[in-house]
Chains A and B, each alone.
Chain A
Amino acid sequence: MADEVVLLDYWLSPFGMRLRIALALKGIKYEHKEEDLTNKSPLLLQSNPVHKKIPVLIHNGKPVCESVVALQYIDEVWNDTAPLLPSDPYLKSQARFWADFVDKKIYGYGKALWTAKGEELEAVQKDHLDCIKLLEGELGDKPFFGGETIGLLDVTLLPFASWFSVYEKFGNLSLEAACPKFIAWLKRCFLIQSVSESLPAAEKLYDYVVQMKKKLGTE
């Protein structure tokens, strides 16, 4: 049966990027629909009436919303290749815990990093680094958080991590010196085609931040 898969997305959304990576890892063909978030399409409003947000995965006409929920859905349906979660319930719970940590901690800091200044910026940077170090601890000696292959936590974290080169330039923060293990993990991930082709180029992100900072007057 020909699966019809549609992704309602926005190029800059880290949550959308997660789904792009997962679909690419699993070799799933899908139609990518870029949304104008200032003028949301009837399809978006109809498929995510509760939150009206992207990403929305629409599989054979049925929408799945919230990126971590959608990642697990993708993993359960297309379960013949590139598993994102281990089968052991305890290890699954740990992967889900850290993915939740990324949503609670990393996302919030990321936003603050490019609007905060002075002492506030320093405090945010320190908190951000502490979180990255916790994640380094979780990574340990494994090549990826998922073990030998990319897993749920790798996919959840990568889109934020791809912003790090941008944060470094604006936040005057050297992640490579502070978190070499993390940077090594990031580079390893970027060698994987499904990852590099799903994430916007660093230059595009950088240009976007320059523009936004001009608009907000926070250069």
Chain B
Amino acid sequence: MASDEVVLLDFWPSPFGMRVRIALAEKGVKYEYKNQDLWNKSPLLLQTNPVHKKIPVLIHNGKPVCESLIVLQYIDEVWNHKAPLLPSDPYLRSQAKFWADFVDKKIYVLGWKTWSTKGEELEAAKKEFIDCIKLLEVELGDKPFFGGETLGIVDVSLIPLYSWFSVYEKFGNLSIEPECPVFVAWAKRCLEKESVTKSLPDQDKVCDYALWRRKVLGYE
């Protein structure tokens, strides 16, 4: 499409922002990345996401799209010439959307609990987190990716959380690889893709960020 203007309002450690970065890279879409200060939100952010005031926001030719899974579907529908994120069969599409929703409801929430809670709450979250990863391993089966031979919406939704796994392991005292080797093998396959490696920040940087947040929020 001639002279598309694409802007992404984002925050570098955000797994939701990472999803959009990966999708845009997969599709070969050129865009302007605007890192946001979440403690001093820009007029552009407040104007383009007045309802939630959150990143990521994809602004395509001046029109904003919010909520990362919705953005992924938008990107897939507009730039439909390559790297499809969703299959064309309605049933398979519904299954992919179901599991992407599961990633949001379960993996993200439980992952957050592993670095922000203590005691019994932490132990319960860790157990459930591993159980949920194992469910995803079953869904993956023998496929290289959730999307089959290529990255699909579930892969793109989930792999950003991998950049936070060192955080979960460090603060939650959790060891993911021995429990979920299939999952870790999948993650390593994703990390062989340029669209993923250039979209995910360094795990150590994410750890430093989480350490700072824990201090600020009083979790230490």
A-B CB pair tally, cutoff 8 Å = 53
Q: Mark B43-75, 1 if CB is under 8 A from A, else 0.
A: 000000001000000001001011100110110
Stretch at the interface among A64-72, A109-117, A164-172, A194-202: A64-72
Q: Is the CB of B94 within 8 A of A70?
A: yes
A89 interfacial contact with B, CB 8 Å: yes
Of A62, A97, A101, which contacts B91 at CB under 8 A?
Answer: A62
Give A residues with C-beta under 8 Å from B: 50, 59, 62, 64-66, 69-70, 72-73, 76-77, 89-90, 92-93, 96-97, 100-101, 134
Q: Which B residues, 196 to 218, have Cβ-Cβ distances below 8 Å to chain A? A: none
Q: List residues of chain B with CB within 8 A of the CB of A76.
A: 90, 93
CA distance A73 to B60 in the complex (A): 26
Q: Is the CB of B66 within 8 A of A73?
A: no
Q: List residues of chain A with CB within 8 A of the CB of B102.
A: 50
Q: Is the CB of B74 within 8 A of A73?
A: no
Interface of A is mostly: helix
CA distance A92 to B65 in the complex (A): 10
Q: List residues of chain A with CB within 8 A of the CB of B97.
A: 66, 69, 72
CA distance A69 to B91 in the complex (A): 10
Closest to B66 in A: A97
Most buried by A among B65, B77, B93, B94: B94
18 contacts between A and B (CB under 8 A): A64-B94, A66-B97, A69-B94, A69-B98, A69-B101, A70-B94, A72-B94, A72-B97, A77-B90, A89-B77, A90-B63, A92-B73, A93-B71, A96-B67, A96-B70, A97-B65, A101-B51, A134-B51
A92 and B74 contact, Cβ closer than 8 Å, known pairs A69-B101, A134-B51: yes
Closest to A75 in B: B90
Chain A min CB distance to B218 (Å): 24
B2 interfacial contact with A, CB 8 Å: no
A89 and B74 contact, Cβ closer than 8 Å, known pairs A100-B67, A101-B51: yes
Closest to B91 in A: A62
Q: List residues of chain A with CB within 8 A of the CB of B135.
A: 50
Most buried by B among A64, A65, A77, A93: A93
Q: Is the CB of B65 within 8 A of A90?
A: yes
Most buried by B among A59, A76, A97, A134: A97
Q: Is the CB of A93 within 8 A of B98?
A: no
Q: Which B residues, 88 to 113, have Cβ-Cβ distances below 8 Å to chain A? A: 90-91, 93-95, 97-98, 101-102
Closest to B65 in A: A93
Closest to A99 in B: B70
CA distance A64 to B63 in the complex (A): 32
Chain A min CB distance to B144 (Å): 23
CA distance A162 to B77 in the complex (A): 33
Q: List residues of chain A with CB within 8 A of the CB of B77.
A: 89, 92
Q: List residues of chain B with CB within 8 A of the CB of A66.
A: 97-98, 101
CA distance A50 to B138 in the complex (A): 12
CA distance A59 to B90 in the complex (A): 11
Q: Is the CB of A73 within 8 A of B73?
A: no
Q: Is the CB of A73 within 8 A of B93?
A: yes
Chain B min CB distance to A63 (Å): 9
Chain B min CB distance to A128 (Å): 15
Closest to A48 in B: B98
A93 and B70 contact, Cβ closer than 8 Å, known pairs A50-B102, A66-B101: yes
